[in-house]
């Protein structure tokens, strides 16, 4: 009856159909949905079957406290909750909910001993017999159960700028409070959670996502961002937050330009990607700023009576405010008033505070009035100390520990703690010099290495900055002005930002 080719085709089609049916049973796990209820958030495991997302009825039973009863004879399953039932049959794209047929986008399947239904079953069928609202939000992969206020949040960068503008729309509207932290902005809502698709940023905005608390939108700013402002308006049951981020007035994030480096300074010029700064915020916690001299020790006193100890304290306070407000780091000042503090005590404060950085602030003096400009000092170990350190690190010592094994002891003398950080401090000095150079006059010898007493005992990258010469008449007139002190603090702040980025990056394995 059939010709040979036709017969062959039929066989091939049958084989293909068989393969397709078998493959139709293939189930691969997918990213779980998140069930949000008054009780919290729980994952809803899902799988992909024939390109459709399905959920296993036994998972549904345990998550929603419904009963399952399989009818092997009829090839179906009954889902019941408080006397109300849903009947599903294998390979049929529909279920019967309390006698009413509800269609599903794909058939109910029995595979691997489990009943699988498309995820739309939750909102389309289960919601009808359940005593609480069940809402499926496919885009944000949420299953909202019960009386949970989970407004949808839509974030858009409307203009990359600068200034960078963005809108965040919250629907239905809730009460909104906006606060600004260094490098980020928080939009708090009066809701149980937020349904937000995380958005990549643009311009000065790095990312927009859910914060540590589920009802907070966190807007992280890129490093060159300065002041961020927000205005909130509500219309048509939608709360709109309009955000405007201005660029920073300082230059802390400019990538070092090799052309601007001082000839002869062979600094390893760390490069800065603003994202690294944001990402690495966890590592650094504390820095120490040391306002030089104090109390009876006035330091340098200029011809007109300007005292080094006042200038250093003033700059230190300005720098502290910048670092605390914009980087969120803890800042320890070795003195916050006019008092004499021994150098060892200053170093101890930094070491005990486990600071990641020490910057000591000073004002210079010269025998000749012409000498002017800022200088940065980092530690030079003299030959003898270097030898002590070399022997200590090479040989060390070991101590037996409880439970066997040995522990290696570090025998570097406490007052040579800086020996571990000489290379980092050298980088720090270069970064400080480069950033200062952009903003203030530098001396003809802007970086020096010397056996500085305070730096030697610092167990962290450390440098001493002489911001200018009080013995130079022009600098004397300028050093004690608000403008100069703020400018110096900004240059130091920029250097801290850059050095932190380099330091945290170089510590990452």
Partner 1 sequence: MSLKAWWVAFIGGLAVLVLIALSIARMYGPSRPASPSDEPVASASSTTKETAHITATLFFGSPDGQSLVPMRRDVQLAETVVEQGRQIVVAQLMEVPPAPYVSVIPSGTMLRAFYVTERGDAFVDLSSDVVRAHPGGSLNELLTVYAIVNAVTANLPAARRVQILVDGKEADTIAGHVDLRRPLTRDESLVRDSDEK
Residue 431 or 456: the one with the smaller Cβ distance to partner 1 is 456
Tell me how long the chain is: 509
Q: How far is the CB of 396 from partner 1 (least distance, A)?
A: 22
Residue 100 or 339: the one with the smaller Cβ distance to partner 1 is 339
Residue 178 or 288: the one with the smaller Cβ distance to partner 1 is 288
Q: Give the separation between CA 59 and CA 78, rounded to whole angstroms.
A: 15
Residue 198 or 451: the one with the smaller Cβ distance to partner 1 is 451
CA nearest to 435, candidates 463, 457, 459, 472: 463
Residue 356 or 371: the one with the smaller Cβ distance to partner 1 is 371
Half-sphere exposure (Cβ direction) of 475: Cα atoms closer than 13 Å? 27
Q: How far is the CB of 363 from partner 1 (least distance, A)?
A: 7
Q: How far is the CB of 219 from partner 1 (least distance, A)?
A: 44
Residue 71 or 415: the one with the smaller Cβ distance to partner 1 is 415
244: tokens are 């405007």
Q: How far is the CB of 331 from partner 1 (least distance, A)?
A: 22
Task: Read off φ and ψ for residue 200, nearest 5 degrees.
Answer: -75, 155
Residue 23 or 367: the one with the smaller Cβ distance to partner 1 is 367
Kindly list the distances between the CA atom of residue 450 and the CA atoms of 5, 380, 464, in Å, as whole numbers in the listed order.
94, 5, 10
Contact 57, 79 (CB under 8 A): yes
292 CB contacts (<8 Å, ≥6 apart)? 299, 308, 309, 312, 360, 361, 362, 363, 464
Give the binding site for partner 1 (CB under 8 A).
Answer: 292-293, 297, 299-301, 308, 342-344, 362-368, 370-371, 375, 377, 382-385, 415, 443-445, 448-454, 456, 464, 466, 469-471
Q: Give the separation between CA 236 and CA 175, rounded to whole angstroms.
A: 14
Q: How far is the CB of 383 from partner 1 (least distance, A)?
A: 5
Q: How far is the CB of 451 from partner 1 (least distance, A)?
A: 4
Q: How far is the CB of 233 from partner 1 (least distance, A)?
A: 56
Contact 115, 109 (CB under 8 A): yes
At 401, is the secondary structure helix, strand, or coil? coil
The interaxial angle of helices 482-507 and 308-327, nearest 10 deg, is: 50
Q: How far is the CB of 266 from partner 1 (least distance, A)?
A: 15
Q: Work out whether the CA dihedral 208, 209, 215, 221 comes out positive or negative.
A: negative
| 251-278 burial: b if 16+ Cβ within 10 Å, else e | ebbbebeeeebeeeeebebbebebebbb
Residue 337 or 382: the one with the smaller Cβ distance to partner 1 is 382
Residue 238 or 333: the one with the smaller Cβ distance to partner 1 is 333
Q: How far is the CB of 378 from partner 1 (least distance, A)?
A: 12
Long-range own/partner contacts, residues 87-96 (CB < 8 A, 24 or more apart): 88/57, 88/115, 88/117, 95/121, 95/125
DSSP character at residue 124: I
């Amino acid at each position: 009856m059939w010709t040979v080719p036709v017969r062959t085709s039929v066989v091939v089609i049958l084989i293909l159909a068989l393969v397709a049916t078998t493959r139709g049973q293939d189930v691969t796990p997918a990213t779980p949905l998140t069930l949000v209820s008054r009780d919290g958030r729980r994952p809803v495991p899902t799988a992909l079957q024939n390109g459709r997302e399905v959920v296993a009825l036994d998972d549904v039973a345990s998550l929603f406290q419904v009963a399952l009863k399989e009818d092997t004879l009829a090839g179906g399953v009954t889902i019941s909750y408080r006397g109300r039932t849903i009947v599903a049959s294998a390979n049929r794209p529909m279920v019967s909910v309390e006698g009413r047929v509800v269609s599903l986008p794909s058939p109910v399947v029995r595979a691997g001993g489990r009943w699988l239904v498309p995820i739309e079953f939750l909102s389309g069928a289960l919601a009808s017999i359940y005593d609480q609202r069940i809402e499926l939000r496919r885009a944000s992969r949420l299953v909202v159960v019960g009386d949970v206020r989970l407004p949808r949040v839509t974030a858009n960068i409307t203009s990359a700028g600068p200034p960078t503008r963005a809108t965040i729309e919250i629907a239905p509207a809730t009460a909104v409070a906006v606060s600004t932290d260094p490098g980020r902005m928080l939009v708090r809502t009066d809701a149980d959670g937020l349904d937000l698709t995380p958005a990549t940023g643009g311009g000065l905005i790095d990312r927009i996502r859910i914060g540590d608390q589920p009802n907070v939108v966190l807007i992280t700013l890129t490093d060159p961002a300065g002041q961020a402002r927000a205005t909130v308006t509500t219309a048509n049951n939608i709360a709109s937050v309009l955000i405007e981020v201005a660029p920073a007035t300082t230059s802390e994030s400019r990538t070092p330009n090799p052309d601007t480096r001082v000839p002869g300074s062979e600094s390893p010029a760390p490069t800065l990607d603003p994202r690294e700064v944001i990402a690495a915020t966890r590592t650094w916690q504390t820095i120490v700023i040391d306002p030089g001299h104090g109390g009876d020790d006035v330091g340098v006193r200029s011809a007109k009576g300007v005292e080094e100890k006042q200038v250093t304290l003033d700059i230190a306070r300005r720098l502290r405010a910048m670092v605390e407000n914009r980087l969120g780091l803890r800042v320890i000042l070795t003195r916050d008033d006019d008092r004499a503090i021994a150098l060892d005590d200053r170093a101890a404060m930094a070491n005990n505070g486990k600071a990641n950085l020490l910057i000591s602030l000073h004002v210079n003096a010269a025998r000749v009035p012409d000498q002017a400009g800022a200088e940065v000092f980092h530690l030079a170990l003299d030959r003898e100390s270097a030898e002590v350190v070399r022997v200590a690190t090479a040989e060390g010592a070991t101590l037996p520990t409880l439970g066997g094994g040995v522990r290696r002891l570090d025998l570097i003398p406490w007052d040579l703690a800086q020996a571990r950080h000489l290379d980092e401090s050298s980088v720090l000095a270069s970064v400080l010099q480069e950033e200062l150079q952009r903003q203030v006059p530098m001396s003809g010898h802007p970086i020096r290495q010397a056996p500085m007493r305070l730096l030697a005992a610092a167990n962290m990258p450390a440098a001493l900055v002489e911001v200018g010469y009080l013995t130079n008449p022009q600098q004397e007139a300028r050093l004690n002005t608000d403008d100069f002190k703020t400018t110096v603090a900004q240059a130091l702040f920029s250097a801290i930002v850059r050095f932190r980025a380099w330091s945290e990056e170089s510590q990452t394995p």
